[in-house]
Structures are given as C-alpha cells and as structure tokens.
Amino acid sequence: MDTNRVRKLKQGRTIVLTGIFLGLFYIIFSDGFGEVYPFINGGVAGMLAGLVVAILELGVFAGALRKKRFINLLILRTTLYFVLLTFLILQVLIISRMIRLEQSYTEVLFDPAFQHYVFKEDFPIVVVYTMVLAFSINFVRMISRKMGQGMLLSYLTGTYRRPVDQERIVMFMKLKNSQGISEQLGSLDFYRFLNDFFYDITESIIVHKGIIYEYVEDLIVVTWSVDQGCTHSNCVRTFFHAIEELEFRKESFFAKYNIIPIPFAAFHYGHVIRSEIGDVKSEIVFHGDVMNTTARILEKCSGLKADLLISTQLANKLDLPKIYQSISRGKVKLKGKEESLELNEIIEILQTKV
C-alpha cells in the first residue's frame, strides 16, 4: 500500500472516530444517561457522518475543487455537509424507530409522535447543531490549509511567541528557465502556470511529511523535522514524487501552456530559529544560516548540471532506498561563504537506465 493511501486511511479513521465522539457528545448533553438507544443512535449517526466527511474530504474536495474561491468553496462545502448530514441523521432516527417499534418506514414517517419530535422537539436543535458543526469544520479546515500545515494550532497555542531553536531539514525547489517561461507566457499566464505547478506538487510534499514554509516567485521552500525528513528518506522522496506527478500531468501543461515544468532542488539541514514575528500581520518564520546555505546550494545546480544537490552532511544521515544513488560532487565554494561545502547529487537509478 503506497504512502498516500496509508495517510488517507489514517486521516479517514481519525475523522470517523471524531464523528462518533461528536455524536455521543451531543447525546450526553441533550438526553443524559436515561436510556441506551439514544447513544446507539448517536454513535451510529456519528460513525456514518464521519464516513461521509472522510469521503468528501479525501476524495471530492481533495481534487480540483480546492482551486475555487474561498467564499464560494466555503458555502459549497457547508451546504453539502449540512444537507447530507441532516439527511443521514434523519435516516438513522427513522431506522431506529422501525427496529424498536416494529413499524414500516412509511408508518414511522407519518407517526404523529415522530412528526412532533422532528418539527417541535429536539430535531430542530440537531439541525442547528449540525449546521454550526458543518460551518465550523469547514471554516477551520480551510483556514488551516491556507495558513499551512500546523500553523493555525501554533498561532492559537502561542508555541512560537518566544523564539525556539530547532534542527530542520530545508528544501529549496525552483523551476528551470523560469525567466524564459515568464517572457514566453507573459505575466498573467506565468502566474497561472506557477499556481498549477505548486498545486500539482503539493500532495507530494504533504504525503512525505513536509511543511510548506513560503513561496517566492517560482521558488518553494519546504521544511521537515530531522526525524520526519530522514525517515524513509522523506525529504528526497518528496522531490522525486513531485517529478512523477509533473510527468503524469505534462500533457495537460503542454496543452494549456505549451510548456512542461521541470524543477530542480537543493537540500541542507541544521539549526534554525523558529519564531512568530510581527503584530498587525504576523508570521511564523525561520531564521538561520541553513536557509542561506540552502539557497546557495540551489545556485550550484546549474553549474554542476544537477537536478538535486544535497549537503553531504545531510546525505550521510539518509538511508536512501536502492532506487536512488548518491554521487559525491566534492567540495564546492558557495557564494558569500568562507569555507567550501561538500555536496552530493542524488539521482534516480531507474531513470538512468532508460
């Protein structure tokens, strides 16, 4: 089973368990502990709601719909969630009554007691609860995605209000011949091209535990904790996975822009200072020589005719899969650095045999 599928299964499991918890949570505060069947209804409704949300989140809304305007997507998501979840909860209640009271579906629907419950008792509260929940889940999830992985929680908890010294792996990835592409496409189409490029490689970054730090023109900066970046060589796999995604979509790019994006990248690791900075517009930023050094390594890709360069000290920490090969490029003088840095080039062996 591939990494992306495993990640989605774990996310789906978390969503379903959360749904069960929220279903039981509502029952505790609405019905108390007097009878058992409301808990069964709440648990089943929560589980089914979790399954619906998981399918929507990991399937429907994981695709091209993410490109829609924020407000339009928020309204679409909230409406769809609300309608589906309300319908689902209503069906659970009907089936529960069919089993307990030994009535048919139609008999339950037209039962005065059930109609009284739906229109005058607790069900309107369930509808409001579902609406608030649907809006809250969608708003928080969309804002969290816009801010970046883990950023919303970091802001809320104030994790980086005081500077924190961390050891991080850093990747700088950039497009080859971006200046020529910009001149060929013009400013507006170039930025549409960039947006499609960043969109198509995002899944590769998320799957391999990377955190997108920032975009600068055609440059994307991604970081990992050392443990997550080194585990299964996630940092290096990110680059080659992105290459595979772009290869899969090259016909679409060529049909739309008459150009195929080809990235190159640099990796390094070391200590950085991570801190929340600013007041009216605050950001969680990384400071340190690692960032500058990685940028300088990236500059050497062209001269060394390499698509992926990595500092040897990072390469030595990785247990590369057999499909990748690390080739020493020796000590290289970097711009603005007094001491030379030893670099390695990482290539995919399967590609070299084609």
CA distances from 311 to 173, 259, 323 (A): 15, 31, 19
If asked whether residues 126 and 166 sit together in one domain, one would say no
CA distances from 166 to 65, 272, 273 (A): 36, 5, 6
If asked whether residues 260 and 121 sit together in one domain, one would say no
Q: How many residues comprise the chain?
A: 354
Structure confidence at residue 188 (pLDDT): 92
If asked whether residues 72 and 110 sit together in one domain, one would say yes
Rounded to the nearest 10°, the torsion over CA 141, 144, 145, 148 is: -160
Give the lowest-confidence range in 159-163, 236-240, 292-296, 349-353: 349-353
Structure confidence at residue 203 (pLDDT): 86
- H-helix or E-strand spanning residue 234: helix 234-248
Q: What is the CATH number of the domain that holds 318?
A: 3.30.70.1230
Answer yes or no: is pLDDT of 347 > 80: yes
Answer yes or no: is pLDDT of 3 > 60: no
pLDDT mean across residues, the chain: 85
Look-up: residue for tokens 């920032």?
214
Q: What are phi and psi of 254, to 5 degrees?
A: -65, -40
Answer yes or no: is pLDDT of 60 > 50: yes
The percent of residues above 70 in pLDDT, for the chain, comes to 89
- H-helix or E-strand spanning residue 208: none
Rounded to an integer, what distance in angstroms lies between the CA atom of residue 243 and that of residue 168?
A: 23
Answer yes or no: is pLDDT of 317 > 70: yes
Which of 43-47, 85-89, 232-236 has the highest average model confidence (pLDDT)? 232-236
Answer yes or no: is pLDDT of 62 > 70: no
If asked whether residues 282 and 216 sit together in one domain, one would say yes
pLDDT band, residue 2 (cuts 50/70/90)? low
Q: Which residue has the higher pLDDT, 70 or 79?
A: 79
pLDDT band, residue 63 (cuts 50/70/90)? low
- Total count of domains within the chain: 2
Give the tens place of pLDDT for each residue, 11-30: 778 888 888 888 887 777 66
If asked whether residues 156 and 95 sit together in one domain, one would say no
Give the lowest-confidence range in 139-153, 186-200, 219-233: 139-153
N- to C-terminal Cα distance for the chain?
26
CA atoms within 13 A on the CB side of 218: 22
Answer yes or no: is pLDDT of 352 > 60: no
C-beta of residue 269 within 8 angstroms of C-beta of residue 235: no
If asked whether residues 141 and 122 sit together in one domain, one would say yes
If asked whether residues 142 and 158 sit together in one domain, one would say no
Structure confidence at residue 193 (pLDDT): 94
Q: Which DSSP state fits 311?
A: E
The percent of residues above 90 in pLDDT, for the chain, comes to 39
Average pLDDT of span 300-310: 94
Answer yes or no: is pLDDT of 49 > 80: yes
If asked whether residues 158 and 230 sit together in one domain, one would say yes
C-beta of residue 263 within 8 angstroms of C-beta of residue 172: no
Closest CA relative to residue 82, chosen from 15, 134, 30:
134
Average pLDDT of span 88-97: 88
If asked whether residues 21 and 109 sit together in one domain, one would say yes
CA distances from 260 to 225, 246, 250, 348, 350 (A): 31, 8, 6, 20, 21
If asked whether residues 137 and 156 sit together in one domain, one would say no
- H-helix or E-strand spanning residue 209: none
Structure confidence at residue 354 (pLDDT): 39
Answer yes or no: is pLDDT of 129 > 90: no
pLDDT band, residue 353 (cuts 50/70/90)? very low
If asked whether residues 117 and 237 sit together in one domain, one would say no
Rounded to the nearest 10°, the torsion over CA 134, 139, 141, 147 is: 180
If asked whether residues 127 and 249 sit together in one domain, one would say no
Rounded to an integer, what distance in angstroms lies between the CA atom of residue 69 and that of residue 63?
A: 14
Q: Which residue has the higher pLDDT, 231 or 70?
A: 231
What residues make up the domain containing 101? 3-147
Residue where a domain terminates, one of 147, 175, 208: 147
Which of 47-56, 98-107, 216-225, 270-279 has the highest average model confidence (pLDDT)? 216-225
Structure confidence at residue 31 (pLDDT): 61
Average pLDDT of span 201-225: 91
Q: What are phi and psi of 335, to 5 degrees?
A: -60, 130
Residue where a domain terminates, one of 115, 147, 179: 147
Q: At what angle do helices 187-207 and 250-257 cross, to 10 degrees?
A: 170
Residue where a domain terminates, one of 84, 113, 147: 147
